[in-house]
Chains A and B, each alone.
Chain A
Amino acid sequence: MIIYDGTKDSEAYKTLFGRVMEEICAEDPDVVYLDADIMNSIGTLAFHKRNPKQAIDVGIAEANMMGIAAGLSAGGKKPYVHTFGPFATRRSFDQSFLSIAYAGNSVRIFGSDPGVTAAFNGGTHMPFEDLALMRAVPEATVMEISDGAMFEAVLHAIKDREGLTYLRCGRKNYPTVYSKDHSFTIGKGEVLREGSDITVIAIGLMVGEAMKAAQMLEQEGISLRVVDMFTVKPLDTELVLRCAKETKAILTSENHNVIGGLGDAVASVLLESGSCIPFKKHGVYDRFGSVGPQDYLQEHYGLTAEVITENVKALLAKK
């Protein structure tokens, strides 16, 4: 059930991750969680101290971590790995590509602090390209988490999933979108709000911004449909095409470079289907990350509900 009202989740995602990872490891002795010296930042250090055999701190060696995870999978285990998004993707890309994906191993990679949520760690730690990289890995599953209920459900759901699964999620809490009992299907987007004038297809941080924009636009008589496309790959093409047909305009919105992410994925589906509706990619326009508070960075890169409303109006003017 969709329960969005703008209130943030009460549990920070770094607390949630530690709690849920420990539950999953307790349920299944074949699960191993690996981290690259970021356990204290993601709420798993106490778990590691309680169970160092299933929660292994590899040290600051992401390439080694991905390779070990690949070997654990080849040995019949179910590894989850975590580090900050840039290190989980671009720093260790060949290891994920070859030792995990190409080799047919199954590893769940969690890259935390996507895009502007890296905030005070700054541009070096701010991945606007991780989705693009991981989308390019054949057969990979690529997801962005938009609230705590989804994070918990997805962490459980990917335990037995084959192949490379990448998910990005902030460490702090976003606005609550889903009830705790909401059921998710990987590869199927969620229609959070019906609307008839235009669809905003958003992921992660931008889901809450899109819902806020929908409320703002409602005051002006604009009916916005909001879709949470939490699985970027495989993309729910059926839902994209249905929204194109029914609302006849689409805006994508992502806390990521507009090159290679959600917007490009949706654009490909629209163009290849012959759809000529007004369309725009909203996100970070080919820029590097930078340092500052998250609200400042959202303003700086235009990742706000206000900018979504401006884009919506510009697209509607083309209808």
Chain B
Amino acid sequence: MTQQQATELQTFAARIRLETVKEVGIRGFGHIGGALSIVDLLAVLYGAVMRIDPKNPGWLQRDKLVVSKGHAGPSVYATLGLKGYFPMDWLKTLNQPGTHLPSHCDMKLTPGIDMTTGSLGQGTSAAIGLALAQRMDGNGARTYLITGDGELDEGQCWEAAMFAPHHDLPNLTWFVDYNRKQLDGDTDNILPQLDIGAKFEAFGWHVQTIDGNDVIEIHEAIDAAHREEEKPSCIVMNTKKGAGIPCIEEIDLNHHIVLEGDILEKALECTKSVLQKLEGGQTV
């Protein structure tokens, strides 16, 4: 990847962060921590990887994304809005009555959402179903899946993890957002995930572990996953919950926070500043 491409993806990520903060800030509260930790991945997927047509969200041959950690909706919506799936005005309606953008991802309401999620763990199996359907169609399309790390507490994830390698699904890539926090605190204190990559390797997956807030590492890992022709891929992404916005990163319990007043101002200033630097050609 060239430096210019990397800067473009970083800029896209900065725009997603800014729109996410504005979107949640209008309501004044929301699931922002885990929405921010996957922003760099969303920027790479939608900026450089996925075969999609925002003007035709139902295109049958498209790549698909299942955000199994459905509470990350706000950053996914910001990404989809920026890509042109729907008017940017919609981002002002998060969780408002009659909105197209509910707290958790809903394929019936939002153009560009490929699977309804919110009951944790369930998106893993659905992603397998989508990948199987793509294989039946033989159109070369791929399915991408994002789960949290706390989400791996759900047993269904491991049912899905057993299934995919046995059923020849190299078109499936599973990203684990290893931000080391869940709603009640640190995953290490609630249910330690230990070596996630080793677990997936034992289940028969092609595994990579990367810095999940670095667009270059994400892009390279996806390239490597695409080169893998037999196994499904798992990319364990070490991330920060609240990534990219220090005043949110430093909040201990930042799964769902009140985002108004001073903290909203600081978050907006921070994201605008990063975006301005990137647009001005500086590195961040």
Partner-B contacts on A (CB < 8 A)? 29-30, 32, 53, 56, 58-59, 61, 63-77, 79, 94-95, 98-99, 102-104
Q: Are A99 and B107 in contact (CB under 8 A)?
A: no
Chain B residues whose C-beta falls within 8 Å of the C-beta of A58 in the assembled complex: 163
The distance in angstroms between the C-alpha atoms of A108 and B122, with both chains bound, is 18
Name the distance in Å between A67's Cβ and chain B's nearest Cβ.
2
Q: Among B121, B126, B155, which residue has its beta carbon within 8 angstroms of that of A71?
A: B126
Specify the chain B residue showing the minimal Cβ separation from A104.
B108
Q: Find the A residue at minimum CB distance from B160.
A: A64
A68 in contact with B60 (CB, 8 Å): no
Q: Given the known inter-chain contacts A63-B125, A71-B115, A99-B116, please indicate yes or no for A76 contacting B163, CB distance below 8 A.
A: no
Is B159 an interface position by the 8 A CB rule? yes
Separation in Å of the A64 CB from the closest CB of chain B? 4
Name the A residues within 8 Å of B133 (CB-CB): 71-72, 74-77
Is B10 in contact with chain A by the CB < 8 A criterion?
Answer: no
B281 at the interface (CB under 8 A from A): no
Most buried by B among A59, A74, A102: A74
- B95 in contact (CB, < 8 A): no
- B108 with A103: CB separation less than 8 A: yes
A67 with B162: CB separation less than 8 A: no
Task: List the interface of chain B (C-beta within 8 A of A).
Answer: 60, 64, 66, 106-108, 114-116, 118-119, 121-134, 136-137, 155-156, 159-160, 162-163, 167
Find chain B residues with CB under 8 A from A64 CB.
124-125, 128, 156, 159-160, 163
Contact sample, A vs B, 23 pairs, CB 8 Å cutoff: A29-B136, A53-B136, A59-B162, A61-B159, A61-B162, A64-B124, A67-B122, A67-B125, A68-B125, A68-B132, A71-B128, A72-B129, A72-B130, A72-B132, A74-B126, A75-B129, A75-B133, A77-B133, A79-B129, A95-B125, A98-B119, A99-B115, A104-B108
C-alpha spacing A67/B125, complex, angstroms = 5
Bound form: Cα–Cα A79–B133 in Å? 10
In the assembled complex, how far is the CB of residue A140 from the closest CB belonging to chain B, in whole angstroms? Answer: 16
Contact partners of B160 in chain A: CB under 8 A: 64, 67
Chain B residues whose C-beta falls within 8 Å of the C-beta of A32 in the assembled complex: 132, 136
Is the CB–CB distance between A59 and B114 below 8 Å? no
* A71 and B162 within 8 A (CB): no
Assembled-state Cα–Cα distance A1/B110 (Å) = 48
CA distance A11 to B130 in the complex (A): 36
Query: Complex formed: what's the CA distance from A59 to B166 in Å?
Result: 11
Asked whether A68 and B129 contact (CB < 8 A) given A74-B114, A98-B118, the answer is yes
State the CA gap A74–B123 with chains docked (Å): 12
The distance in angstroms between the C-alpha atoms of A29 and B130, with both chains bound, is: 16
A68-B156 contact in complex given A77-B136, A98-B118, A99-B122, C-beta closer than 8 Å: no
Let me know if B107 and A63 touch, CB within 8 A. no
Q: Which of these, A53, A73, A98, A104, contacts B129 with CB under 8 Å? A: A73
* Residue pair A70, B125 in contact (C-beta under 8 Å): yes
A109–B168 Cα distance when bound, in Å, is 25
Task: Write the nearest CB–CB distance from A162 to chain B, whole angstroms.
Answer: 12
Report Cα–Cα, A58/B132, bound state, in Å. Answer: 12
